[in-house]
């Protein structure tokens, strides 16, 4: 037989539920406390992982662009055109910032290096703020108490366990 008790609001950010199971000689009580704010913060950790992965992809593409300009790759080739087309949008805000030295067809595109540094710095600051705001490893705590009466002797055994997810 199981008695489900309603969820009790402990505070604005927590929800608690108590489940009691009773059988002859055995009673188990389990209380589950959910920290809603911590669950939101765990969502922010996932967002920060996605943003970090996108930054790594952008940095790799910009690095390939820099190398292609440095080795004077043919911009009419499919691969170079593809890389220049994708990364052009991200380098555009920095075009004209400083001069681009060229020598014998090779180009030292310093604006690409500046773009890489600025994007990395910006994302690092954003991820740092997310980490500070969301730093909590656990969102749920389960406390379980088991009361067992040994038949015939009347001896009672109690076990308490607590687990955080």
This model's pTM is above 0.75: no
Question: CB-hemisphere CA count at 13 Å for 13?
Answer: 8
Q: What is the mean pLDDT of residues 69-83?
A: 94
The confidence score (pLDDT) of residue 14 equals 60
Residue 39, pLDDT above cutoff 90:
no
Q: What is the pLDDT of residues 96-134, one digit of tens each?
A: 899 888 888 888 999 999 999 999 999 999 888 877 876
Q: Are 113 and 66 in contact (CB under 8 A)?
A: yes
Q: Identify the residue with better confidence: 165 or 90.
A: 90
The confidence score (pLDDT) of residue 60 equals 98
Cα–Cα distance measured from residue 91 to residue 143, given in angstroms and rounded to the nearest whole number = 54
DSSP-assigned letters across all residues of the chain:
-EEEPPPEEEETTEEEEEEEEEETTEEEEEEEEEEHHHHHHHHHHHHHHHHHHHHHHHHHHHHHHHHHHHTT--TTSHHHHHHHHHHHHHHGGGTTSS---EETTEE--HHHHHHHHHHHHHHHHHHHHHHHHT-----EEEEEEEEEE-TTT--EEEEEEEEE-
% of the chain beyond a pLDDT of 90: 38
Q: What is the pLDDT of residues 45-56, one digit of tens each?
A: 888 889 999 999
The confidence score (pLDDT) of residue 67 equals 96
Q: Mind listing the domains of the chain with CATH numbers?
A: 2-37+139-164 (3.10.450), 40-133 (no CATH)
On average, the pLDDT of the chain sits at 80
The lowest-confidence range among 24-28, 42-46, 85-89, 137-141 is 137-141
């Amino acid at each position: 037989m199981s008695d489900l008790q309603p969820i009790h609001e402990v505070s604005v950010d927590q929800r608690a539920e108590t489940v009691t199971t009773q059988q002859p000689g055995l009673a188990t009580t389990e209380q589950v406390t959910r920290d809603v704010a911590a669950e939101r913060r765990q969502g922010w950790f996932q967002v920060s992982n996605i943003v970090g992965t996108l930054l790594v992809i952008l940095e790799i593409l910009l690095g390939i662009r820099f190398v292609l300009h440095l080795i004077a790759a043919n911009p009419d080739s499919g691969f170079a055109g593809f890389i220049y087309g994708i990364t052009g949008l991200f380098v555009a805000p920095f075009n004209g910032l400083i001069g681009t030295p060229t020598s014998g067809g090779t180009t030292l595109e310093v604006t690409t290096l500046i773009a890489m540094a600025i994007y990395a710095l910006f994302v690092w600051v954003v991820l740092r703020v997310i980490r500070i705001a969301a730093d909590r490893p656990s969102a749920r705590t389960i406390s379980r108490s088991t009361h067992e009466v040994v038949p015939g002797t009347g001896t009672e055994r109690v076990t308490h366990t607590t687990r955080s997810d």
